[in-house]
């Protein structure tokens, strides 16, 4: 990221909306925004690696309520929510903290929720090659809640399934029981 370009852009935005960019509360805003953008959009850097361990475990391994933050690519406004996720290992399990770290990292970019749902499960399946995986994202979008329709806190829910979860309704139902 070019911090000087971002600082100039933020300074220009402050001018254009009629603010005094030299007033006390705004003097440091351009540099604070550079730091915020580096954090919010870290998803464009190399993600943390998954850590794999050999295992004979054959059941469903689920993670419930993983918090995430992303930005709507249409308005660059934040949407936040939770990820429920499960997979059935294929001889290897993933270090559980690595799932959270990688999902949060990949979420830190401009997205639409539908594409983010697909990105997260496709990334996991590509690198881990489980027997199956299932994911549900539930998020509230500030672009909807603070402008336009102006109705906050209405969750949008997206899901995707791969492998055994596509055909085996029993496995899918077990996932839903685990997260409820």
Quick one: pLDDT at residue 111? 97
- Classify the C-alpha dihedral 50-53-56-62 as positive or negative: negative
Judged by phi (left if over 0) then psi (alpha if -120 to 50, else beta), residue 150 lies in left
Rounded CA separation 140/130 (Å): 30
Identify the structural domains of the chain with CATH numbers, from first to last: 3-40 (no CATH), 52-179 (3.30.1130.10)
Query: Quick one: how far is CA 124 from the chain centroid?
Result: 13
- Residue 177 in contact with residue 134, Cβ under 8 Å? no
**What's the token pair of residue 80?**
């936040």
Tens digit of pLDDT for each residue in 1-25? 899 999 999 999 999 999 999 999 9
Q: Does this model's pTM top 0.85?
A: yes
Residue 58 scores a pLDDT above 90: yes
DSSP state of 47: P
CB-based contacts of 51: which residues, under 8 Å, 6+ apart? 94, 95, 98
Task: Provide, for the chain, the percentages of residues in helix, strand and coil under a 3-state DSSP scheme, each rounded to the nearest 5.
Answer: 45, 25, 30
Average confidence score pLDDT of the chain:
96
DSSP state of 129: -
């Amino acid at each position: 990221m070019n911090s000087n370009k971002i600082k100039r852009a933020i300074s220009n935005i402050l001018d254009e909306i009629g603010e005094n960019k030299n007033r006390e509360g705004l003097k440091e805003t351009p540099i604070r925004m550079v730091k915020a953008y580096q954090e919010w959009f870290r998803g464009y850097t190399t993600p943390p690696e998954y850590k794999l361990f050999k295992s004979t475990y054959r059941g469903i391994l689920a993670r419930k309520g993983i918090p995430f933050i992303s930005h709507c690519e249409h308005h660059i406004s934040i949407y936040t929510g939770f990820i429920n996720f499960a997979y059935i290992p294929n001889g290897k399990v993933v270090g559980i903290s690595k799932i959270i770290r990688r999902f949060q990292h990949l979420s830190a970019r401009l997205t639409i929720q539908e594409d983010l749902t697909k990105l997260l499960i496709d990334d996991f399946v590509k690198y881990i090659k489980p027997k199956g995986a299932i994911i549900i994202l539930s998020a509230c979008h500030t672009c909807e809640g603070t402008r336009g329709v102006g109705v906050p806190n209405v969750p949008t829910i997206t899901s995707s399934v791969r492998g055994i979860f596509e055909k085996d309704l029993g496995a899918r139902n077990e996932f839903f029981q685990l997260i409820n």
